[in-house]
Amino acid sequence: MRRSSVLHRCSDRWARRVTAIAFIALWAVAVPADAAFPVVTYHQPLGVTRGGEATVVLKGARLTDASGVLFDQPGVEVVEVKPVDDKSVELTVKTEAGLAPGRYSFRLVTSSGVSNLRFLSVGAMPIVEEVEPNNDFSDPQDIEMDRTVEGNVDREDVDCFRVSLKAGQKLTVEIEGIRQRSDLRNRDILDPYIAILNDQRFEVAVSDDSMLLQQDGVCSFTPEEDGQYTVLVRDSSFLGQRDVCRYRLHVGSFPRPTTVIPSGGVQGDVLQAKLIDIDGTVTDASLQLPTDLIDPANKSATPTQPYSVVTEDESGVSPSPNWIRVGNLPIVNETEPNNDHRKAPVCSVPALLCGVIDEPGDFDCFAFDCKKGEQFRVRLYARETLRSPLDGVMNVFDANGKSLKSSDDSGGKPDGVFDFTAASDSQHTIRIYDHLRGGSPLHNYLIEVSHLEPSFQLGLKELRRDEAMVVPVPVGGHGAMVIQAKRNRFNEEFELALDGLPAGVTAQTYPMPAGRVEIPVVLSAATDAKLIGSFFDVRGKGKLGDGELTSNLEQYHKIVLGQNRRPMLDHTTSQAAMAVCEAMPFSVELVQPKTPILRRGSKELVVRIKRDEGFEGAVSFKTLYNPPGVGVNNSRKIDKGANETSIPITANSNAALGSWPMIMQVSYGTKLGTQTVATAPIMLDVEDAVFDYSFPRAAAETGQEMDLAVTLEKTRDIAGEIEVQLVGLPNGVTCDAPVQKASLESTSVIFPLTIAADAKTGKHKTLNVQTRIRRDGETMIQTDGTGEIRIDKPIVKKEPTAQPEKKAEPAAPPAKKPEKPLSRLEQLRLEKESS
């Protein structure tokens, strides 16, 4: 074994909480061409060397008024943000000398809002720019060892870099290709291929995809003699695009562990681990795990969190981290022999079970005692977090050896999860193996066994497809978002609170109703608020018995989408972003209605604007959020020259009763494109219907009159003047008094109908009654149906006509009796006589 390495953790708490996919790519969104918010499509260079100051040029659209940059993690200081023109910004940053290599997410802030999420790479090695032409193997670009090359792959492009090696000097090559790409439309995705070639042009090491880095490759070679070697870079399908398919190529003798064993630990402990390098070398290492990784206030968080590990030794620093899981669960390391689930070593749970499927056909089993009724969640971490080659399959067996639950993949993810309940006080066993019965020292895994407890998770709803929500809040106006809750055995009401908003910005929150999963939040900026961007936290808190249950927001970002919109790369942040932006050129009011909307009813919301001088553009409206069971016409707008519009809304028969917030998204044109903000909220009261109606089976003939009596039954009391109107009469049917007065004591309403002579006959299921209740200058409308009327032609009676006398039929001759059949003897006699 080599001498011990020193492992460094990522230097910030946020980075330790990033979820699932550890190797993150840049993100550029497919935004509408007329959107006003800023977009960063790429930047150059893609990364910087830690411990210095560097200038990065951001390229994109609507960047003229850039004013700041928000980095999610500490360690990167923004020195200056200097707009060059509408498509570029110069960003000067300074990084700490001990900053862990990796990617640091940021967002650009302008006076129109916050840009899409991007990543700045931070490395430990000097940066070299690719210099064309370097396509020819015989004329490559010479570089020194331990360098990071920044280059670009154009269509059918091949980049060659040559290094000199001493005998026994390890050469490791790692590329950031798809991790530097971002696309939500499955196009221009760099899928890199790398190779190390000797001077005879033979490939001594190659990598297309890799378990550690997914679509990005990593390979290594150690020569037995001095020589020159060429590192080749291209797209695996010879695709590419200038300035879009950029990459960072790390070339050197740095350590590159592919596996950390054990792959989890208890926070606050010193983890004694073994690192397995890409060249097979095993190194002992120690790591002081953090003490504050698990947020004690977030009782809905998973028992362990991902934690990034960067390795450093005398040969250098790994350019990207490995990932493990750290939490408060005790660690149980597998002990062999443990292949037989009927004779598995016994441990205690909850726990984090650590092990390796270290050879083909291997099984690992863990037995533990359960109490009747205990509920457990069993979750595997292998491919997704640890980047293990293990395609794990898990089973849980009862004391009789019966399989109770199993899991392979889950929810489109490669690692499984299942819940089970112990049926008795007995011993249960968890077994894990590789789906294809593979195994190696790299097939590491973690099995998180925890008690199944009530929980809920908070996220932000996408208001534009596939794009993570950012909130623009105009000076003197409002911005809004929708909080989504994923509930797990917890359906009670809970409260929301926001922390970290800048000065001059306030939040209007609403309780999340019991059983519901969406609720809006409105941000308001004062008239003297400064243009600024900010991160903020969202926290939820509800009652659970005599205690409380809490949760913190995690926002999901799609980075690269592949076929069928499947996320190839994604990212999660623990904070949301907002920006105070320029004021609207008008004021807007969504008028608070004085009366409720009724189930089975309809209403019109009034929106008014007051234009600033010079603003004549159209203003469009769309609901941010619909109360359950309420539908809204989202096609209304206020055109040039107008200042008011009405927005029809309806409530179905199952609309949720109560008082619900209503907010309209407000879209209008600016010099940069279409800006979308929000109105101040109103409260929409949803009440039950007032009457239940019954229609008779009515029938009439054309050219006649009839009375249609519709019975009604009061379901509740309500104040106001009531009238009932019959609507939906078929063609040719009229009513002289279609509107009838009614009261809460009425039991029926009678409508006189006249059926024209040319009315269409047949059954007509079109009759409805509208109940109108007037109060406080507004009208509440309830619509009920459907009634049926049958229209027939009059029956014409025909006079009987005389029938001619019928002549008597002649009698039929009597039927002849059938002759008696001859006997055989008689037949023979007749034959003899005739011969």
Mean pLDDT of 375-388: 96
Phi, psi angle pair for 564, to nearest 5°: 55, 30
Mean pLDDT of 686-699: 95
Mean pLDDT of 16-33: 32
Q: What does the pLDDT read at residue 183?
A: 84
Question: Is-contact 220 288, C-beta < 8 A?
Answer: no
Q: What does the pLDDT read at residue 30?
A: 39
Q: What does the pLDDT read at residue 796?
A: 73
Of the pLDDT bands very low, low, confident and very high (cuts 50, 70, 90), residue 20 is very low
Please determine, for residue 136, whether its predicted confidence score (pLDDT) is greater than 90. yes
Please determine, for residue 807, whether its predicted confidence score (pLDDT) is greater than 80. no
Per-residue pLDDT reduced to its tens digit, 632-643: 999 999 999 999
* Residue labelled with tokens 């077994």: 431
Please determine, for residue 22, whether its predicted confidence score (pLDDT) is greater than 60. no
Per-residue pLDDT reduced to its tens digit, 75-106: 999 999 999 999 999 999 999 999 999 999 99
Per-residue pLDDT reduced to its tens digit, 593-620: 999 999 999 999 999 999 999 999 999 9
CA distance 109 to 104: 16
Question: Is-contact 689 653, C-beta < 8 A?
Answer: yes
Per-residue pLDDT reduced to its tens digit, 166-203: 999 999 999 999 999 888 888 888 999 999 999 999 99
Q: What does the pLDDT read at residue 2?
A: 43
Q: Which residues contact 346 (CB under 8 A, 6 or more apart)?
A: 367, 368, 369, 427
Please determine, for residue 277, whether its predicted confidence score (pLDDT) is greater than 90. yes
Of the pLDDT bands very low, low, confident and very high (cuts 50, 70, 90), residue 761 is very high
Q: Which residue has the higher pLDDT, 86 or 801?
A: 86
Q: What does the pLDDT read at residue 719?
A: 95
Please determine, for residue 537, whether its predicted confidence score (pLDDT) is greater than 90. yes
Q: What does the pLDDT read at residue 27?
A: 31
Residue 302 neighbours by CB distance under 10 Å:
17
Cα–chain center distance at 132? 41
Mean pLDDT of 360-373: 96
Burial of residue 237 (number of CB atoms within 10 Å: 0-12, 13-18, 19+): exposed
CA distance 340 to 662: 59
Beta strands in 357-416 (DSSP E): 364-370, 375-381, 392-397, 403-407
Of the pLDDT bands very low, low, confident and very high (cuts 50, 70, 90), residue 26 is very low
Q: Which residues contact 68 (CB under 8 A, 6 or more apart)?
A: 78, 81, 108, 109, 532, 533
Mean pLDDT of 395-415: 91
Of the pLDDT bands very low, low, confident and very high (cuts 50, 70, 90), residue 801 is low
The model scores a pTM over 0.75: yes
Please determine, for residue 812, whether its predicted confidence score (pLDDT) is greater than 60. yes
Amino acid symbol at 514: A
Q: Which one, of 164, 126, 167, lies nearest residue 148 by Cα?
A: 126
Q: What does the pLDDT read at residue 15?
A: 37
Q: How many residues does the chain have?
A: 835
Q: What does the pLDDT read at residue 187?
A: 83
Mean pLDDT of 143-165: 97
Q: What does the pLDDT read at residue 97?
A: 94
Q: Which one, of 315, 358, 349, lies nearest residue 329 by Cα?
A: 349
Please determine, for residue 303, whether its predicted confidence score (pLDDT) is greater than 90. yes
User: What does the mean pLDDT of the chain come to?
Assistant: 91
Q: What does the pLDDT read at residue 34?
A: 64
Strands 331-333 and 351-356: parallel
Please determine, for residue 553, whether its predicted confidence score (pLDDT) is greater than 90. yes
Question: Is-contact 737 827, C-beta < 8 A?
Answer: no
Q: Which residue has the higher pLDDT, 291 or 834?
A: 291
Q: What does the pLDDT read at residue 820?
A: 67
**Hey, what domains does the chain have and what are their CATH numbers?**
8-123 (2.60.40.10), 129-253 (2.60.120.380), 259-451 (2.60.120.380), 455-581 (2.60.40), 586-687 (2.60.40.10), 691-792 (2.60.40.10)
Question: Is-contact 240 156, C-beta < 8 A?
Answer: yes
Q: What does the pLDDT read at residue 411?
A: 79
CA distance 27 to 45: 15
| Percent of the chain surpassing pLDDT 70 | 92
Q: What does the pLDDT read at residue 150?
A: 97
Per-residue pLDDT reduced to its tens digit, 34-53: 678 899 999 999 999 999 99
Q: Which residues contact 159 (CB under 8 A, 6 or more apart)?
A: 130, 134, 135, 141, 151, 153, 232, 233, 234
The CA–CA distances, whole Å, from 764 to 705, 789, 791, 793 equal: 17, 5, 8, 14
Q: What does the pLDDT read at residue 809?
A: 67
Mean pLDDT of 581-589: 97
Strands 392-397 and 426-434: antiparallel
- Whether the upstream peptide bond of residue 752 has omega within 30° of 0, thus cis, is no
Question: Is-contact 655 711, C-beta < 8 A?
Answer: no
Residue 158 neighbours by CB distance under 10 Å:
17
Per-residue pLDDT reduced to its tens digit, 707-742: 999 999 999 999 999 999 999 999 999 999 999 999
Q: What does the pLDDT read at residue 182?
A: 80
Q: Which residues contact 178 (CB under 8 A, 6 or more apart)?
A: 25, 189, 190, 191, 192, 214, 215, 216, 560, 568, 569
> CA dihedral in degrees (379, 380, 385, 386; nearest 10)?
150
